[in-house]
């Protein structure tokens, strides 16, 4: 077993956040665009590649805003994720083309069904992962203090 690095883009524009829309047996859920780092890639290279693959967009990567661990055996999906240990690095990002309207990735994740802008005011009404990042995201948007390291959360 090994620890996997994953890079995620937090793209906020006009009080909305750009998320990948996904579907499983429990219904629709949302994730930050991004994914696993390949051997020999920097964080920025991995995040740039993953955003091309999942949302079909070029991004500008800004600051690291959150670090989250996911140790599968500690969470509700442990029957599937028991051996998973992932560290996610979430970066504040911008679209290179802020007017881009269509988001079609050329290599979406297995459960991905699309890309959507979700209003920050609506993030409590949708199923998203990590679930407990919502309060930290709202604090960040409202310029309130929030830790960078969020711990083992889902």
Domain coordinates in residue numbering, the chain: 4-152
Q: At residue 53, does pLDDT exceed 70?
A: yes
Q: Return the CATH class of domain 4-152.
A: alpha beta
Q: What is the pLDDT of residues 56-79, one digit of tens each?
A: 999 999 999 999 999 989 887 778
What rounded mean pLDDT belongs to the chain? Answer: 94
Give this prediction's pTM: 0.93
Q: Where are the alpha helices (DSSP H) in the chain?
A: 43-55, 78-81, 134-141
Q: What is the pLDDT of residues 127-144, one digit of tens each?
A: 999 999 999 999 999 999
What mean pLDDT is predicted for residues 83-105? 94
CB-based burial, 91-100: b 16+ in 10 Å, e otherwise: bbbebeeeee
């Amino acid at each position: 077993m090994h620890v996997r690095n994953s890079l995620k883009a937090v793209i906020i524009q006009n009080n909305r956040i750009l998320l990948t829309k996904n579907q499983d047996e429990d219904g629709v859920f949302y994730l930050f665009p991004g994914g696993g780092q390949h051997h020999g890639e920097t964080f920025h290279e991995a995040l740039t590649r993953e955003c091309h693959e999942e949302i079909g967009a070029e991004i500008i990567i800004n600051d690291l805003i959150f670090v989250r661990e996911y140790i599968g055996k500690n969470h509700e999906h442990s029957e599937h994720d028991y051996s998973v240990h992932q560290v996610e690095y979430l970066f504040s990002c911008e679209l290179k083309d802020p007017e881009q309207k269509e988001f079609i990735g050329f290599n979406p994740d297995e459960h991905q069904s699309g890309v959507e802008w979700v209003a920050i005011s609506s993030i409590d009404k949708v199923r998203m992962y990590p679930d407990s990042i919502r309060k930290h995201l709202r604090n960040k948007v409202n310029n309130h203090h929030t830790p960078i390291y969020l711990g083992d959360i889902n």
